[in-house]
Structures are given as structure tokens and as C-alpha cells.
Amino acid sequence: MQSIVVLFIMSLVVFTMINLVGDPVDMLVNPESLPDEIERVRSDFGLDQPAHIQYIKFLQGALSGDLGNSFIFGRPALALIAERFPATLELATCALIIAIVFGLPLGIYAGLNPKSLGTRIIMGGSVLGISIPTFWLGLMMIIIFSVVLGWLPVSGRGDIGSFLGWQSSAFTLDGLSHLIMPAINLALFKIAMVIRLARAGTVEVMSLDFIKFARARGLPPENLVRFHLLPNILIPIITVLAIEFGTLIAFATVTETIFAWPGLGKLVIDAIVNLDRPIVVAYLMFVVTLFLLLNLIVDIIYAALDPRVRLNGDQQ
């Protein structure tokens, strides 16, 4: 219920704002066209109508799953987004996996050994990870690994393989070599974030009574970390990561542009430059829906991880 209200408000805001910037017709027609030619294009796209009529038409379309046709490509905006989405999803998923695989152990290590040299290096590195701009790092990676060393391809998406009916470039060697650099580039900031969250969580949980009690029962460190520490620090980390996964998908634009990754980011940047309104609107609606979905997933995971928030009321 709330989600529908949010979606509706968002559509209103997006539609109003986008109507304030520029005139898409200027981008669509040859500047030397005759005035009645321009008028014809304008009425073809329905842009001669007042904004509120346009909005009502948009809403009617949206309710039947049609967010309008792209001005440039002349195809449904949603279909274009759906086409590009797998590439971005793949990139974001890889980045997320990298962030968890590296961030979690490093963060826990830092939390368990607050004074060791390793911790200082990790925490220093995480500050770097947060503060280095993504675009600069992307360019540096291209220069080092592609231009100087020649190990990895500069840009684009490689061959696509299929595994269990799932199509992704992560399943071929060529695809992987294309994927690895943008994924790491995108993941770097998230690694730093996961490190900081995991460390803070570890420090907090390790000081709690049940950890002390577990140690007093003679449990070895591996049990402490695996069964007692990890599940307890995962709850806040998962909450944050789910939302961050949304931002990875929605705002991977910079990385996608640098590595010429054929994903959503590139589509949107082009659409904004060309004032291709339906695509921008459809994209923003898509992002809102994505975040709403992610929130729902977080709630479900939360209930799965934490028995205290399960609602089935199996109190004795």
C-alpha cells in the first residue's frame, strides 16, 4: 500500500521536473526544418498538450505497463531498459560479491585484533577506498592493466555464456576478463564500507555477554566467529548492503561510462543528453520500484536471520 503511494508521488515529481528542462523537439528535428514540420513532430509525440494532460496519458499508459516510447529509438522505453538491465545486474552482482568476500573477513579481522599492524593497514586502506574518486581509479586501472601491461581488455562486454539458463558474461573466460576490471572498480568503495561496518559490528558484539559466556564454555575461536559473531553482525550489514546493491544498479553510471559497459547507466546518460524523456522517466520509475523491492527483500531476510522479528507469534 505504502509502496504504491510512493510510486505515485515519485511519478508526479519525476514528470513535473522533467517537463521543466529543455524542449526535446529541438533535439529531434533538424534545426533547418520548417516551422510546420516542427509542429508536426511536436504533435506526433503529444508534446503540444498541456503538462497535466500529458501526465494523465502517461499514468493511463503506466497502469497498463506502458511507459511510453523512446523519442530516439522509437521503441518502448521499458523494453530498452529490460534489454540493458542484465549487463548492469551482472556488474553490480559481481561488485557486491567482491565487496562481501573481501570486506567481511578483513573487517572481522580488524575488529578482532584492534591493535595489530594488519588492522592499521586495513583501516588505512579503507579510508583510501572511500576517498579515491571512482572515475580516476577507473582510468588508472585502464592505463595500468590494459595499456601498459596489456592483461585485460580496455572496454565493452565480452562473450556471453549460459549456465543453468542464466545468461551472463561471467561464465566465459573472455567475458570474465571484460567484467573483472569494472566490477573491482565499482566494488572498491563498497569493500571499504563493508570493512568499516564489519569492524564496528565485531567490536560491539565481541564485548557482549554471550560472547564472553561462549568463551567461558571453552568454545574455540572458530565457533565463536562462525556461529556467534557472524550472524549477529550480518543483520545490520545486510540491511545496508541491500540498499547499496540498489545504488550499485542505479548509479553505476560513472563506471559504465568509463569502461563503455553496455548497461543501464550508459542508456540513461544518453537519454539525458538527448532529452529522451520517456526513457528517463521509465528509468527513474524502475529505480524506485527496485528500491521498494529491495526493502521488501531486506525485511524478509531480516525475519529469516533474526528469530526475534518473526511475526508468526510462536511464543510459548
Partner 1 sequence: MTDLLDIKKMSVSFQTEYETIDAVRNVSITLRPGEVLGIVGESGAGKSTIGNAIVNLLEPPGEITRGEILFKGQDLRNLDDKQMRDVRGKKIGMIFQDPQTSLNPLMTIGAQLIETINKTINIYGSEATNKAIELLESVGIDESEARLNLYPHQFSGGMRQRVVIALALAGNPDLIIADEPTTALDVSIQAQILDLIKRLCQERQVGVIIITHDIGVIANISDRVTVMFNGQAVESGDVKQILTNPKHEYTKSLIAAVPRGDRKVERFKSIDYIEGGAQTQRRIDLDQHWLGKKFTQHFSDTAISINNLNKKYSLKKAFLKRNRSYVHAVKDVSLSIKKGEIFGLVGESGSGKSTIARLVAGLVRTDKGSIKLFDQEVTNKSKGKDVIAARRNLQMIFQDPYSSLNARMRVQDIVSEPINYYKTASTNMEMRQIVRDLLDHVGLGSNAMLKYPHQFSGGQRQRISIARALASRPKILICDEPTSALDVSVQAHILNLLKDLQDDLGLTILFISHDLPVIRQMCDRVAVMRHGSICEIATTDSLFEKPQHEYSKHLLELMPKTDF
- Which residues of the shown chain bind partner 1 in the complex (CB under 8 A)? 208-210, 212-220, 223, 227-228, 231-232, 305-308, 313-316
Q: Do 282 and 227 touch, CB atoms closer than 8 A?
A: no
Angstrom distance (rounded) from CA 198 to CA 110: 9
Q: Which helix (H) or strand (E) holds 153?
A: none
Angstrom distance (rounded) from CA 269 to CA 289: 20
Minimum Å distance from CB 231 to partner 1? Answer: 4
Minimum Å distance from CB 96 to partner 1? Answer: 23
Minimum Å distance from CB 228 to partner 1? Answer: 5
Angstrom distance (rounded) from CA 237 to CA 49: 48
Minimum Å distance from CB 315 to partner 1? Answer: 6
Nearer to partner 1, 113 or 162 (CB): 113
Measured CA angle at 45 (ends 44, 49), to 5 deg? 95
Minimum Å distance from CB 208 to partner 1? Answer: 6
Nearer to partner 1, 35 or 217 (CB): 217
Nearer to partner 1, 157 or 228 (CB): 228
Sequence-separated (6 or more) residues with CB below 8 Å from residue 11: 58, 59, 62, 281, 285
Nearer to partner 1, 154 or 219 (CB): 219
Nearer to partner 1, 132 or 305 (CB): 305
Nearer to partner 1, 137 or 233 (CB): 233
- Nearest partner of 229 among 124, 118, 107, 125, judged by Cα: 107
Which cell numbers hold the place of 116? Answer: 595489530
Minimum Å distance from CB 93 to partner 1? Answer: 26
CA distances to 15, 71, 195, 234, 297 from 102, in Å = 41, 43, 8, 15, 23
On the CB side of 299, CA atoms within 13 Å amount to 6
Nearer to partner 1, 191 or 234 (CB): 234
Minimum Å distance from CB 54 to partner 1? Answer: 38
